Each structure stands twice: as structure tokens, then as C-alpha cells.
Amino acid sequence: MVQFSRISIFEARKRFTSGKAFYICPCKMRPGGGFNMACLILSGKEWANQAEIYTDNPKLWKGTIEKTAWELMYNNWNHYNTSYETGYYAHYYVEA
């Protein structure tokens, strides 16, 4: 069975910008459990490509491509995966 270690949001952002894999999971769920809702984020490159489109949009632009890419990824994940049952914020994990 695969073991997971929880990491901070700061470590997750570093891994996102450097292209290292991590898991994002609703706060009331655990990766590897019976009701696994963990999402594997492999790289932020595809999100960075999308973030370049929003440089002219002041509502979505967060100052840098990396910040905008993170917000796009997180907002999309948040919209589809959080609820009362699963929890409203994210925990981040790596394989131990």
C-alpha cells in the first residue's frame, strides 16, 4: 500500500512551479482511502499556458504567471471537488 505524507501549501506551490508531482485532496478525505478523491497534479506547465491568456484580464490576473496558474488550478479543483461532505479546503500530499 502506498503511504502519503502531508505537505504545506507553500511546498505544494513550489512543487507546482517546478513540475514535481503532488496530490490535492479535500480536507475531510485522505488519499489512498476507501473513498479516495485525491487528484494527482503532475505539472503546472499546462496551467501556465492557460495563465498567459489572462494577462489582459485584471479580474483573473494575479501578478505573475505562476500565481495565476496556481489560482486557475485551485479554483477549478475547488469548484468540482469541495462540498459539505468532503470539506471546503484542500490538503496536499506526496507519496512517502
Residue 52: count other Cβ atoms within 10 Å of its Cβ. Answer: 10
* pLDDT exceeds 80 at position 86: yes
> Is position 90 within any domain?
no
Contact 68, 54 (CB under 8 A): yes
Domain that holds residue 22: 4-85
> Is position 95 within any domain?
no
Q: Report the pLDDT value the prediction gives residue 80, as an integer from 0 to 100.
A: 94
Cα distances (angstroms) measured from residue 17 to each of 9, 47, 48: 12, 10, 9
- The total of structural domains in the chain comes to 1
Give, as one character, the DSSP assignment of residue 24: E
> Is position 94 within any domain?
no
* pLDDT exceeds 80 at position 1: no
Copy the grid coordinates of residue 12: 505544494
> Is position 71 within any domain?
yes
> Is position 93 within any domain?
no
Mean pLDDT of the chain: 92
